[in-house]
Structure 1
């Protein structure tokens, strides 16, 4: 008789550790008053598999651990049907349960959940489908939302993958949560415990595949030693039904194999890839396949030899086809040396230009992986027209969970509502309903394969993504990939209950600030489809609208003294609008029928152009940026109401980040508003831009050992100027008399926090210490930091509830460290409730 009582490697739910490592799988004890009255558990768990690498076997362990954690009941776990004759939670495949006959109602990976008091049946069409059903059952119990049920759940699309952009040296491109869990020092580490934990999280939301390395791939991944390491990664993820794939460097036959060419039609190249693929499948028989980035941003590809992109994709497709593998071929192909002087040039057109003529030429195990918008994960874009232009080709949508252009996990931005706008975008191909979600799932054009690829970039940080709240995006991604018809707010509420518990106040606050976060971020970064007005030439983090134009990257705004926006019309512009099917193209061709939220994506207009709201474009810019920043100020205030409702570690970590976001949103607001005021010369009708009655500029204070300095872009400093210490290894002071009416104020200090040093600061009021801090945000936040004084490094601290008498003296002292010369921008003395 096989009986398992242990909880194996699963986290103990009763543990006091709440550092994020368990994500939404905490299995926290459910209070008695939240337990459903009709919940009556069977006497045992029966998982019909004795194979310890089987997801069915894993499902049994998960059920045992989850029920122990949530309900404090330990159920014995059996694996053979004759070992227990009482009531059970039965988990199995339909074939095992029905004597080899699959259930006709279930698709691949689908599951059936039959719940009655004292009797539970969880059946999967596949082994991982059974595991998905077990996770669903536990999720319902953990949320206290349990009821008797007869449920059939099928995934909407067969491909539900995540992409990691991990490099072999252990770094992660666009990673904001520490080093790689897959690679270290150009090899695969021996300890892969975090890999198994990650697979568990992915399986719980229905993810069935992962590409473990960067699309900018290193050919050395294909050495024999690293292939064996990849095999160990696959072994670690297999019990959760997560198949691994890898990104390939197209030039590998030359750079690694020593051939004179990487021409995809050359026989020696074909032979090299075939041999390498066979070697991979011998070590990883269930490898999912390949991901290929070619001829984009300096990567090698078939165009080098005047071959087509289909020739390149099919090279790999033929190699993996005998093994049942697929090839995800990225449509992110564009020229990054575009001439900005050419008014017909448009990076947004490139995907259709490269791929439309190849429709029908890709083998049936190739899936073209298309970024959701035509540019690059911006705060708002129209859906890529390529989805409608290759109907005979399998497609997948590429979404970005890691917030490259959207706050890099240092800003709360719940992304599911953004994704919803794309997935529900109706392309109207052939004048028929053609929602993006139906195209990528294969429904609209009757394609066999298709689905979702999400760029995640988890790291060694215990929060996985570098922020507790950012995990809502990973959770929502998996749930939407399974069923894109789900409501983003409902998904958020599920995640909140699983992550923080079911307290109504907690649920309300997390829902409120998260649902407000994307509109707020769009407001204080970029509006009307102008893109995220960040620094595209450096870190993609802070504000720098000037960087968008006059370069070869093509993320242009065409902003000048008179107007702004890309003319993408057929009649007078780049012609991009004509890449959509006729009905959509006609809508976007006209200013009158283009929605205001995409106006500047499709049209160049004067700043004085009147919107449907009745406001001018420039006034809306001002108003939106102030409104977005004001909304961000409410986030930490709302979160503070949860003190003692959430464990101390997670409460403090989230509060710190929300306070940082509130400050940085003002950096964004001021930078963007000042830039467009300087460019257009049109004042804000309310008189806010450039006028700050509660601020005292650092350069206007009495300075000791401080000197004036410029910043770049200039708008990222208040009054366009900051001060720094005269040299390294020095200290200095900035002092001012406060001529405000006596009362209670919040005192804010804007400064710059760079990498390369950790300056030390103190703030005194009449000689009494108010606050002491260091320029050490690089140790506390994960976004890409800057070595310069700019919109990335600009930040602030706030001292709440300071009692001030008119004439009091405020002094800031700074001690330089490294290249961080204790830079200061301004102080603001704010009456309570006033947003600076």
Structure 2
């Protein structure tokens, strides 16, 4: 009976480790091989010198205790002491406590900046010393990261952060929704209030602290003033209490008009004494509840948000209103540079949204208070797949700056497409702006080093939700992990960061490591290729969901995200001599490079120059042929992700294996939607054929509208290019079952049978596919439940999707039948069927 019980316990433990849903992220602390000798070489005690309740030092001790047990099966005691006995122990302390208790005034403790740490561990004993309590916690997580990757070797490491500000911005709304949220509702808010159960918020704090994030803005930059009610202030204090033991300070976004809409003042003029007093009082009330609040984030005078321009006040006067209210408390005011006119007209050749940041902020340099940090998106537009560095980084000599990145894949696949972002970020961080003909890499500007500023750093938009994967996708979590790592050390290598994450998240199997590394490093170039290359921006629908393809939406809109494409030419002329003069906003060396078409890199050609489709690139290809080739190449790379992942079957637990596979299969199909939509659009616009004969030519497809239809009717899709041959079929009514049949004309053999259809929001149609009345497969249009992208109510590039059934045996002349049963507003739409021989990509 005892043997049976032990066997059952062992089985349950193994089963538990195999069933992973992603909730622990990279903090799984999965067991690694550690024999008796290894066990003896690990510490038996964790000793702290600080007994302050809620201190990150205590959190560090608890994390080490739990980590040793889970990773190596080592049971260690945790104790607070006033001695420096480190026999078989790891001592965790701040520099101040270590020097005080250990009486080591002349010790060899290295010099550390705030949040920095020193790890000196050899086997069973050592010390983790932080410049402050938060630094000690970071050191503990670094120690555990090494152990979790199977590294038990001695370590003597000294490290300090690149910049003091390492924040994340949540775009959570008070009702629980998340702007650009692709992973479920908010972990912070519901029904206008802070949620009662903050368990998930605490788990998120652990993840953030482990990658050395030191502050979080908990609500959307498009802020709701009701966050400032007494009840919600109390709720914010509860969040702060949860985050404090992890060394993370909370901050909030503010609505500029709150003195009027919430306070009833009838004004929000930043120079009005009543408004100044109101904000001072609100700030005092918040700090009474949260003494260590990080500060505020403000988006003003942009995209319809209220701001100082309502009263003809400058952005500096608006920012300083909040900065002065924060100064007595040591708070920081992050002021977004995302200010522009969103009612621009393309009629003027010199209109250019990309000029807005410099136009608005350069003249205000030196007018901001010292606790103001201008938060600048990495490029001049809006998180595009390829942008140049924002020129504003080179134009504020006397103002603190932080870079704004986006872990949220708003224009980059909504976490339904694998896109590993650090290689993109590194193109910005490593870029040398050559300010005043001196070395000026962006990373040194944002740290404050280049212009000798006291503050600076990082902010990232992150859209974690209640989904157990946090971001809706297991693989997307590599971007959150990497953001923290790069914010600490921007010179870190993208591959090294990625591989640390893989080992922590999926284990040390070499095949798993290699496959995820290969896919991830290929993902951003592939996505750029099949969405929008040569600096043309992400050719998504900017008027709707920012997800699927819609190149036509890029022109004739008021948002200023233009391509100026016509039937003979394409690209924004941003030169000084003939265009918008955006190139001239850069320092002279960079401006000269971008001004000249011969020295502009091809990957930014269409960002800075308007050229004929027949313009030849450095490769010798024309612009239009590069479009065709790149989109085919990118989609082909995405097809390869599926077999790469499937090669890991049995090496990754079933739950995560299936979840990742589902997204990669979807991405493979959607990349073809992107490829065809962009290529067809520019083929129609330019009239220039693909020299390889691929665009508009798909010999393996059967168009749904050419089949024998019963209960179905043809439907002209808009945008036209998002359906094959521009047409789909829909049921004649929303209560009529549709049938589409045809004889199969392909040679007899075994094929992958793919069906392209449209999955609309507002219904879950069902489809079945038969060959000679033999059921091959059936499915439901439930992508809104399975995938996290913003859904569409239209037949378009967002709702287009493909399902594939492999290994279907076909004889020439077989009868293919698809039955569609509509549901709700979704009329079981079909686009085409494709029979693909092994190894052939449609």
Give the TM-score band, short-chain normalised.
over 0.9
Q: What is the deviation of 1:73?
A: 1.1
SS at structure 2 position matched to 1:832: coil
Write the deviation string for residues 619-642 of structure 1: whole angstroms up to 9, x where unpaired.
Answer: 000000000000000001100000
SS at structure 2 position matched to 1:277: helix
1:12 to 1:286, Cα distance in 2 relative to 1, 3 A = farther
SS at structure 1 position matched to 2:127: strand
Provide the residue aligned with 2:127 in structure 1.
121
Residues 119 and 127 of structure 2 are in contact (CA less than 8 Å); yes or no, is this contact kept in structure 1? Answer: yes
Provide the residue aligned with 1:18 in structure 2.
20
Residues 217 and 250 of structure 2 are in contact (CA less than 8 Å); yes or no, is this contact kept in structure 1? Answer: yes
Residues 360 and 393 of structure 1 are in contact (CA less than 8 Å); yes or no, is this contact kept in structure 2? Answer: yes
Provide the residue aligned with 1:504 in structure 2.
510
Greater CA deviation, 624-633 or 731-740?
A: 731-740
Distance in 2 (alpha carbons) for counterparts of 1:511 and 1:183: 36
Q: What is the deviation of 1:48?
A: 2.5
Q: How does 1:480-559 map to 2 (within 5 A)?
A: 480-559=486-565
Normalising to structure 1: TM-score of the pair? 0.97
Q: How does 1:781-800 map to 2 (within 5 A)?
A: 781-800=787-806
1:750 to 1:613, Cα distance in 2 relative to 1, 3 A = same
Greater CA deviation, 220-229 or 101-110?
A: 101-110
SS at structure 1 position matched to 2:739: strand
Distance in 1 (alpha carbons) for counterparts of 2:43 and 2:334: 44
Q: What is the deviation of 1:669?
A: 0.1
Provide the residue aligned with 1:463 in structure 2.
469
Distance in 2 (alpha carbons) for counterparts of 1:13 and 1:482: 37
Distance in 1 (alpha carbons) for counterparts of 2:250 and 2:376: 20
Q: What is the deviation of 1:277?
A: 0.1
Provide the residue aligned with 1:738 in structure 2.
744
Provide the residue aligned with 1:31 in structure 2.
33
Provide the residue aligned with 2:353 in structure 1.
347
Provide the residue aligned with 1:88 in structure 2.
89
Aligned residues: 825
Q: What is the deviation of 1:52?
A: 3.4
Residues 52 and 58 of structure 1 are in contact (CA less than 8 Å); yes or no, is this contact kept in structure 2? Answer: no
Q: What is the deviation of 1:31?
A: 2.8
Q: Is 1:224 aligned to residue 250 of structure 2?
A: no
Provide the residue aligned with 2:67 in structure 1.
66
Distance in 1 (alpha carbons) for counterparts of 2:33 and 2:139: 24
Provide the residue aligned with 1:716 in structure 2.
722
Which of the residues 408, 412, 415 maps onto 1:406? 412
The two structures, once aligned, show a CA RMSD in angstroms of 1.5
Provide the residue aligned with 1:438 in structure 2.
444
Distance in 2 (alpha carbons) for counterparts of 1:85 and 1:632: 53
Greater CA deviation, 736-745 or 214-223?
A: 736-745
SS at structure 1 position matched to 2:540: coil
Residues 50 and 97 of structure 2 are in contact (CA less than 8 Å); yes or no, is this contact kept in structure 1? Answer: no
Q: How does 1:763-802 map to 2 (within 5 A)?
A: 763-802=769-808
Residues 410 and 467 of structure 1 are in contact (CA less than 8 Å); yes or no, is this contact kept in structure 2? Answer: yes
Distance in 2 (alpha carbons) for counterparts of 1:220 and 1:13: 46
Distance in 2 (alpha carbons) for counterparts of 1:677 and 1:14: 53
1:740 to 1:16, Cα distance in 2 relative to 1, 3 A = closer
Distance in 1 (alpha carbons) for counterparts of 2:367 and 2:159: 34
Distance in 2 (alpha carbons) for counterparts of 1:43 and 1:788: 62
Which of the residues 370, 374, 377 maps onto 2:376? 370
Q: How does 1:588-667 map to 2 (within 5 A)?
A: 588-667=594-673
Distance in 2 (alpha carbons) for counterparts of 1:308 and 1:120: 54
SS at structure 1 position matched to 2:194: coil
Distance in 2 (alpha carbons) for counterparts of 1:137 and 1:334: 45
Q: Is 1:99 aligned to residue 105 of structure 2?
A: no
Distance in 1 (alpha carbons) for counterparts of 2:14 and 2:373: 41
Provide the residue aligned with 1:299 in structure 2.
305
Distance in 2 (alpha carbons) for counterparts of 1:526 and 1:831: 29
Residues 584 and 591 of structure 2 are in contact (CA less than 8 Å); yes or no, is this contact kept in structure 1? Answer: yes
Provide the residue aligned with 2:10 in structure 1.
none
Residues 13 and 29 of structure 1 are in contact (CA less than 8 Å); yes or no, is this contact kept in structure 2? Answer: no
Greater CA deviation, 281-290 or 73-82?
A: 73-82
Write the deviation string for residues 492-527 of structure 1: whole angstroms up to 9, x where unpaired.
Answer: 000000000000000000000000000000000000
Provide the residue aligned with 1:8 in structure 2.
none
Q: What is the deviation of 1:805?
A: 1.1
Which of the residues 269, 280, 290 maps onto 2:275? 269
Distance in 2 (alpha carbons) for counterparts of 1:55 and 1:831: 59
Q: What is the deviation of 1:476?
A: 0.3
SS at structure 1 position matched to 2:468: coil
Residues 33 and 150 of structure 2 are in contact (CA less than 8 Å); yes or no, is this contact kept in structure 1? Answer: no
Q: Is 1:397 aligned to residue 423 of structure 2?
A: no
Which of the residues 457, 481, 498 maps onto 1:475? 481
Residues 649 and 657 of structure 2 are in contact (CA less than 8 Å); yes or no, is this contact kept in structure 1? Answer: yes
Write the deviation string for residues 145-168 of structure 1: whole angstroms up to 9, x where unpaired.
Answer: 332121101000000000000000
Provide the residue aligned with 2:204 in structure 1.
198
Q: What is the deviation of 1:744?
A: 1.0
Residues 13 and 69 of structure 1 are in contact (CA less than 8 Å); yes or no, is this contact kept in structure 2? Answer: no
Greater CA deviation, 82-91 or 538-547?
A: 82-91
Residues 404 and 541 of structure 1 are in contact (CA less than 8 Å); yes or no, is this contact kept in structure 2? Answer: yes
Q: What is the deviation of 1:82?
A: 5.2
Q: What is the deviation of 1:115?
A: 1.2
Q: Is 1:42 aligned to residue 43 of structure 2?
A: yes
Q: What is the deviation of 1:318?
A: 0.5
Residues 253 and 262 of structure 1 are in contact (CA less than 8 Å); yes or no, is this contact kept in structure 2? Answer: yes
Distance in 1 (alpha carbons) for counterparts of 2:537 and 2:772: 46
Distance in 1 (alpha carbons) for counterparts of 2:196 and 2:350: 53
Distance in 1 (alpha carbons) for counterparts of 2:215 and 2:619: 45
Q: What is the deviation of 1:117?
A: 2.3
Q: How does 1:669-680 map to 2 (within 5 A)?
A: 669-680=675-686
SS at structure 1 position matched to 2:179: coil
The unaligned stretches of length 5 or more in structure 1 are 1-10
Write the deviation string for residues 539-570 of structure 1: whole angstroms up to 9, x where unpaired.
Answer: 00000000010111000000000010000000
Which of the residues 327, 346, 360 maps onto 2:366? 360
Residues 30 and 144 of structure 1 are in contact (CA less than 8 Å); yes or no, is this contact kept in structure 2? Answer: yes
1:450 to 1:83, Cα distance in 2 relative to 1, 3 A = closer
Q: Is 1:53 aligned to residue 54 of structure 2?
A: yes
Residues 20 and 655 of structure 2 are in contact (CA less than 8 Å); yes or no, is this contact kept in structure 1? Answer: yes
Normalising to structure 2: TM-score of the pair? 0.97
Q: How does 1:165-184 map to 2 (within 5 A)?
A: 165-184=171-190
Residues 143 and 494 of structure 1 are in contact (CA less than 8 Å); yes or no, is this contact kept in structure 2? Answer: yes
Distance in 2 (alpha carbons) for counterparts of 1:795 and 1:250: 41
Residues 749 and 797 of structure 1 are in contact (CA less than 8 Å); yes or no, is this contact kept in structure 2? Answer: yes
Distance in 1 (alpha carbons) for counterparts of 2:311 and 2:141: 49
Residues 46 and 81 of structure 1 are in contact (CA less than 8 Å); yes or no, is this contact kept in structure 2? Answer: no
Distance in 2 (alpha carbons) for counterparts of 1:486 and 1:181: 31
The unaligned stretches of length 5 or more in structure 2 are 1-12
Distance in 1 (alpha carbons) for counterparts of 2:208 and 2:446: 20
Q: What is the deviation of 1:578?
A: 0.1
SS at structure 2 position matched to 1:259: coil
Provide the residue aligned with 1:79 in structure 2.
80
Distance in 2 (alpha carbons) for counterparts of 1:382 and 1:39: 54
Distance in 2 (alpha carbons) for counterparts of 1:311 and 1:438: 27
Greater CA deviation, 343-352 or 117-126?
A: 117-126
Distance in 1 (alpha carbons) for counterparts of 2:527 and 2:595: 27
SS at structure 1 position matched to 2:776: strand
Q: What is the deviation of 1:81?
A: 3.5
Which of the residues 439, 456, 472 maps onto 1:450? 456
Write the deviation string for residues 682-704 of structure 1: whole angstroms up to 9, x where unpaired.
Answer: 00001000000000000011111
Greater CA deviation, 711-720 or 140-149?
A: 140-149
Q: Is 1:700 aligned to residue 698 of structure 2?
A: no
Q: What is the deviation of 1:51?
A: 2.8
SS at structure 2 position matched to 1:396: strand
Q: What is the deviation of 1:386?
A: 0.1
Distance in 2 (alpha carbons) for counterparts of 1:114 and 1:47: 15
Distance in 1 (alpha carbons) for counterparts of 2:84 and 2:577: 75
SS at structure 2 position matched to 1:98: helix
